[in-house]
Amino acid sequence: MIKKRILLILSLVYALGLGTLDSRAEGTALTGSVPSGINYQGRLEDNGTAVNATKSLTFKLYDASTGGSLLWNSGALSIAVNSGLFNTSLAIPISALSGNTTRYLEVTVGTVTLSPREILNAVPYALVAKTLEGSLDIARGGLSVSTGTAASSALYVSSSTGYVGVGTANPSAKLHIGGTSGVDGIRFPDGTVMTSANVGLSGSVSAGTVTFNGNVGIGTTLPKVSLHNNGDFITKGPWVDVRAHGHSLSTTNGTDDWTTAIASAMAALPTAGGEVLFPVGIYLVKNTLILGSNITFRGLGNKTSRIIKGFNGDLINLGENSGFINMGLEGDGGNYTGRGIVISNDAGRQFVIGSRIVDFDGYCVEFEQTTSGSQSIFLNSQISRYNGTASGRYAVKIKDEQQLSAYPRKFIGIESSGTKFIDLGGCNDIMISASVIGAVLFSQNSRGVMITGNRLGMNETQMNIVGNNIAISGNDISPAITLTPGALGVTMMGNTYNSTVTDTSGTWTNNLEIAYKEYTPTLTSGGVAPSIGNGIIRGSYSRMGNMVNLCVELTMGGTTTLGAGDVKFSMPDEIAPYHAYQQVSVGVAYARDDSAPTIKTGIVTMLPSDKALGFYFDGSISGLAYNWPFVWAANDAIRGCITYTR
């Protein structure tokens, strides 16, 4: 009869290299090399005599002491037995060891099954230490650890699924927290408990409400933009909300003084500057606001975010690289004196974009020095002064003194609402384009002016141009234009005119475009003065730059006399030759004797020293006279046309 003794002497290990669980510290995993099976030793006797032979042994693992389910079968193993002792390694698979049920080992020698079955107990290399009071679950090379007896206190970790359960033994996500809804959750150091992650749809955070549907709302369940705040907020950053530094939205009604609040908002900006935000409202100001460098006032619309002046004095002193975007600045000029925006010293790079600067009794914008506001830009804005159609009441003013260096300023897309727009003063390098504006006042000190693509001079009847290096092109010009003495290097090309253009500058340096203009010549002679009587005399000309095309015509009346001597037709000053020694140009002329009838052809020539035209026929050096080229009578006519460069 075969007897057996079972000695579980060495180690139970996890064959795939997971860390061993050391009983020195409860629940602490230490990495290291792990044995690859259960080392099984025993003693085998046959009727009390130690066996010395090779025997066939079979090992089976069950989940019960008798009966139960077979979890593993080693199959017949040929094992050497010496003096009754044998040693083997049992490669029990991980799946056979999973779960919390006790395992029993059954041994069969040859055909004899030994009993009772042996219980597998924890050993030094057990996968789950005794201190964890749980079971070891090894499956498919992964590790699952579950602890506790109740699901609510369980900790479950599985490397095969990558799931961790807290309070549940059946996690269905990477981290699954079980428990009672609305009670259990994550506890933070300050004692607060987060019971739900559902703030993505609707939920509470402190005293406010956060909703999310692609946008985030604070204090609103219907956010309309990426971050929609339906209340005040304070921030220390590149922008601040002015309401957070004074009053709530309900007081932006034009009655409360916001001067201190606005100053506080500017002071809250970083040293490098930033933006002050003006939500919809009317912000009454009762003292001058000083915008230092790099400060922007930004509104939500120039008719909805409005700063109104409620005192006598200037509203804004605008510093370097500062300005307004989508703001309304209103002066209440019927009640208060003072200017709108003042730019002083050498401060530059100011900007006004999409804004309104209106209704100031003083200038809406004043550059106190010819050097002030260099590289400034006013874009897509309305600038109009209170009572701005009255004489001298321009909306914008530049100091009038000579400035030979360039200080560029730009006005683009400006509306002056039919009022006088700008006194250019001593500007040097200014551009006005794509605007609808009233009068522009030039000074002898104005230079480097470019005015292009505007409706110019609305509600004006006369505009004089003087200054240096002025280009006016592509405009629709309402008033009559006169280039006065002192206008040098003026170019006016490609414009349309609702009135006349006249050049009285007395210089040939100006380039004008005059499509067609009529005038009435006067007749002179070297003797008795001619008299038109009941005759008809007329002239017309056009000018492109300094190229002139001039025609004159005289039809004799019954009382017309040509006097004595050569008869000459006068030329307008604005197209007359500039130099008395101007090279002579020649045109075509003809004379018609209505009674014959006879036509004689000749030439018409420019007489620079006289600023007049002379007529010559039949190669004669004698000019037109009362009896040349024939004796003139009623209905006789003479006509000549000439093209020349001034």
Spatial separation of the C-alpha atoms in residues 256 and 247, rounded to whole Å? 9
What confidence score (pLDDT) does residue 534 get? 97
What confidence score (pLDDT) does residue 22 get? 32
What confidence score (pLDDT) does residue 185 get? 78
**For 424, left (φ over 0), alpha (ψ -120 to 50), or beta?**
alpha
What confidence score (pLDDT) does residue 631 get? 92
Higher pLDDT, residue 133 or 633: 633
What confidence score (pLDDT) does residue 579 get? 67
Looking at the predicted structure, is the pLDDT value of residue 153 above 60? no
What confidence score (pLDDT) does residue 585 get? 84
Report the range of poorest mean pLDDT among 121-125, 583-587, 610-614, 638-642. 121-125
Confidence of residue 46 (pLDDT cuts 50, 70, 90): confident
Confidence of residue 214 (pLDDT cuts 50, 70, 90): low
For the stretch 331-370, pLDDT in tens is: 999 999 999 999 998 989 999 999 999 999 999 999 999 9
pLDDT, average across residues 629-642: 95
What confidence score (pLDDT) does residue 9 get? 34
* pLDDT > 90: percent of the chain: 56
Confidence of residue 41 (pLDDT cuts 50, 70, 90): confident
Q: Are 437 and 455 in contact (CB under 8 A)?
A: yes
Report the range of poorest mean pLDDT among 127-136, 517-526, 574-583. 127-136
Most confident residue range from 123-137, 248-262, 425-439, 523-537: 425-439
Looking at the predicted structure, is the pLDDT value of residue 163 above 90? no
pTM for the model: 0.63
Looking at the predicted structure, is the pLDDT value of residue 223 above 70? no
Confidence of residue 92 (pLDDT cuts 50, 70, 90): confident
Looking at the predicted structure, is the pLDDT value of residue 1 above 60? no
Confidence of residue 195 (pLDDT cuts 50, 70, 90): confident
Looking at the predicted structure, is the pLDDT value of residue 203 above 50? no
Looking at the predicted structure, is the pLDDT value of residue 100 above 90? no
For 16, 93, 128, 135, 153, the CA distances from 96, given in Å and listed in that order, are 15, 6, 15, 12, 25
DSSP letter string, 594-623: TTTTEEEEEEEEEETTTTEEEEEETT-S-B
For the stretch 251-263, pLDDT in tens is: 667 888 999 999 9
Confidence of residue 506 (pLDDT cuts 50, 70, 90): confident
Q: Are 412 and 435 in contact (CB under 8 A)?
A: yes
What confidence score (pLDDT) does residue 645 get? 86
Q: Which helix (H) or strand (E) holds 95?
A: helix 94-97
Confidence of residue 222 (pLDDT cuts 50, 70, 90): low
Sign of the CA dihedral with 123 first, then 129, 134, and 137 last: negative
Looking at the predicted structure, is the pLDDT value of residue 131 above 90? no
3-state SS of 282-318?
A: EEEECCCEEECCCEEEEECCCCCEEEEECCCCCCEEE
Q: Are 10 and 36 in contact (CB under 8 A)?
A: no
For the stretch 256-287, pLDDT in tens is: 899 999 999 999 999 999 999 999 999 999 99
What confidence score (pLDDT) does residue 44 get? 86
What confidence score (pLDDT) does residue 21 get? 28
Report the range of poorest mean pLDDT among 144-148, 334-338, 487-491, 590-594. 144-148
Please list, residue by residue across 380-399, b when 16 or more beta carbons sit within 10 angstroms of its beta carbon and e when fewer do: bbbbbbbebbeeebbbbbbb
What confidence score (pLDDT) does residue 159 get? 65
Nearest alpha carbon to residue 296 among 269, 315, 314, 259: 269
Structure tokens at 72: 């593993």
pLDDT, average across residues 74-97: 87
Looking at the predicted structure, is the pLDDT value of residue 129 above 60? no
Looking at the predicted structure, is the pLDDT value of residue 211 above 70? no
For the stretch 579-632, pLDDT in tens is: 655 667 899 999 999 988 899 999 999 888 888 999 999 888 889 999 999 999
For the stretch 393-416, pLDDT in tens is: 999 999 999 999 999 999 999 999
What confidence score (pLDDT) does residue 58 get? 93
pLDDT, average across residues 41-48: 86
Q: Collapse the DSSP code of 398 into the 3-class scheme (helix H, G, I; strand E, B; otherwise coil) and give the result.
A: strand
Confidence of residue 227 (pLDDT cuts 50, 70, 90): low
